[in-house]
Amino acid sequence: MTSPQFIHLRLHSEYSVVDGLIRVDDVVKAAAKDAQPALAMTDLSNLFGMVKFYKAARGKGVKPIVGADVWITNDDDRDKPSRLLLLVKNRTGYLQLCELLSKAWLTNLHRGRAEVRAEWLAALTADGTNNGLIALSGSQFGDIGIAIDNGNLALAERCAQRWSSIFQNHFYIEVQRAGQPNMEPYVRQAVALAAKLQLPVVATHPIQFQTREEFTAHEARTCISEGEILANPRRQKRFNDQQCFKTQAEMAELFGDMPAAMLNTIEIAKRCNLILELGKPKLPQFPIPDGLTTEEFMVLETTKGLELRLLQLYPNEEKREKERARYEARLKFENDTIIKMGFPGYFLIVADFIQWAKNNGVPVGPGRGSGAGSLVAYALSITDLDPLQYNLLFERFLNPERVSMPDFDIDFCQEGRDRVIQYVKDRYGKDAVSQIATFG
């Protein structure tokens, strides 16, 4: 098998909402077809597509490299930030990148950009032993590249020295040949600076779309993001049709005079070895009375809850006793299934915040979706529909033959929804609670 010549370390997918067009599955297939052993996805200031990319890449035998293209705050002019490409080496680096991006979105937004501060990066590696990230200089969009393009080589050198001191043995000067203005002068000066400071150089390609034919569609997407019109001749054009996925052969043609920069893509890929543990739910611990396990407490609560429901459904004692056996058999079956699959805590947590909502004036829907087929949910007052009365199947919600996380569709009053979320944060800790976005 021929040794790889090049690995893509820079890619904005469709999850880079402002300027990416690539579908994850398509680019992974392209990398596999080109026999690239690894591929990085580095969306702009986010990790939205990380899990999808990780699973798709592993499924095609391509090593996934997780990273992000981040904005770096420029305190001298907040409207002119620079960029830095961060790649994850291991779980430490993954947690560091998550922390950086969360902090940027929560505390350092400017004109809609979530910006990372250089001092945050310095603090991560202050002890010299916690370097879980590899940094690439950002090519012409990094502070080094901006300084070079402005003719300020002294500033470029100071920036390079700062980053190389923060990311000791983990910092690379990044060069590209993707049809950008002043491209070759930048490459020459960047390589000379790297030689002077004894820093490694790496070649990357700024992938924004899959093929050249998609360039016009990509321009339309950026116009939508920027509130521009495609036909406007005076609009700023930040991209060109060269910023598509290129094969190893095409990259070798571009950087035939810089074999070391090509080789460094392989070396960086070897250093990035993040392993994600997927498919194993990690729920916060539900508070249980002393002397009971979570499983025992759930059975106790559902048994009590069912008794209350039966009193409501069948006020007549004779009728209630006649129906009891089928309800208790169904309850036992569901409890056994939930315990076997390891989800008692999930049901108790959901029941807890729904009960809080009802007790605190937040209207809650009676039940929607497959969760309405659960008698346990009905007994715990998660839903208000008797699944036996309507012949609803529990197996549509939770099935041992198809292991997946249960997911209740819960409707809260819009005005009280934030109060419920705050309650869950207060009860289980804000580090254990997250909201999710939907892309469509």
Residue for token digits 């094969």?
Answer: 247
The answer to whether residue 285 sits within a structural domain is no
| pLDDT class of 281 with cuts at 50, 70, 90 | confident
The pLDDT score that the predictor gives to residue 421 is: 96
| pLDDT class of 400 with cuts at 50, 70, 90 | confident
| pLDDT class of 382 with cuts at 50, 70, 90 | very high
Q: Does one domain contain both 234 and 322?
A: no
The pLDDT score that the predictor gives to residue 406 is: 87
The pLDDT score that the predictor gives to residue 225 is: 87
The pLDDT score that the predictor gives to residue 55 is: 98
CATH number for the domain harbouring residue 78? 3.20.20.140
The pLDDT score that the predictor gives to residue 439 is: 81
The pLDDT score that the predictor gives to residue 3 is: 81
Residue 277: is its pLDDT beyond 80? yes
The answer to whether residue 398 sits within a structural domain is yes
Q: Does one domain contain both 316 and 234?
A: no
Residue 171: is its pLDDT beyond 90? yes
pLDDT digits (tens, 9 = 90+) for 135-155: 999 999 999 999 999 999 999
The pLDDT score that the predictor gives to residue 130 is: 66
The pLDDT mean for the chain works out to: 95
**Per residue, what are the HEC states of the chain?**
CCCCCCCCCCECECCCCCCCCECHHHHHHHHHHCCCCEEEEEEECCCCCHHHHHHHHHHCCCEEEEEEEEEECCCCCCCCCEEEEEEECCHHHHHHHHHHHHHHHHHCEECCEEEECHHHHHHHCCCCCCCCEEEECCHHHCHHHHHHHCCCHHHHHHHHHHHHHHCCCCEEEEECCCCCCCHHHHHHHHHHHHHHHCCCEEECCCECECCHHHHHHHHHHHHHHHCCCCCCCCCCCCCCCCCECCCHHHHHHHCCCCHHHHHHHHHHHHHCCCCCCCCCCCCCCCCCCCCCCHHHHHHHHHHHHHHHHHHHHCCCHHHHHHHHHHHHHHHHHHHHHHHHHCCHHHHHHHHHHHHHHHHCCCCECCCEHHHHHCHHHHHCCCCCCCCCCCCCCHHHCCCCCCCCCCCCECCECCCCHHHHHHHHHHHHCHHHCCCCCCCC
Using an 8 Å Cβ cutoff, are 40 and 6 in contact? no
pTM of the model: 0.90
The answer to whether residue 137 sits within a structural domain is yes
The pLDDT score that the predictor gives to residue 280 is: 82
The answer to whether residue 7 sits within a structural domain is no
Q: What percent of the chain has pLDDT over 90?
A: 87
Q: Does one domain contain both 300 and 225?
A: no
Q: Does one domain contain both 305 and 243?
A: no
| pLDDT class of 128 with cuts at 50, 70, 90 | low
Q: Does one domain contain both 168 and 251?
A: yes
Distance CA 75, CA 412 (A): 42
The answer to whether residue 12 sits within a structural domain is no
Buried-exposed string 83-101: b where 16+ CB fall within 10 A, e elsewhere: bbbbbbbbebbbebbeebb
- Mean of pLDDT values over 78-87: 98
Residue 364: is its pLDDT beyond 60? yes
The answer to whether residue 373 sits within a structural domain is yes
- Mean of pLDDT values over 190-205: 98
Q: Count of domains in the chain? A: 2
Residue 37: is its pLDDT beyond 90? yes
The pLDDT score that the predictor gives to residue 428 is: 94
Q: Does one domain contain both 197 and 143?
A: yes
The pLDDT score that the predictor gives to residue 129 is: 60
The answer to whether residue 284 sits within a structural domain is no
Q: What percent of the chain has pLDDT over 70?
A: 98
Q: Does one domain contain both 40 and 172?
A: yes
Q: Which domain holds residue 128?
A: 24-271
Question: Which among 271, 304, 322 is the end of a domain?
Answer: 271
- Mean of pLDDT values over 2-25: 93
The pLDDT score that the predictor gives to residue 187 is: 98
The pLDDT score that the predictor gives to residue 283 is: 87
Structure tokens at 289: 């009375």
Least confident range of 38-42, 129-133, 265-269? 129-133
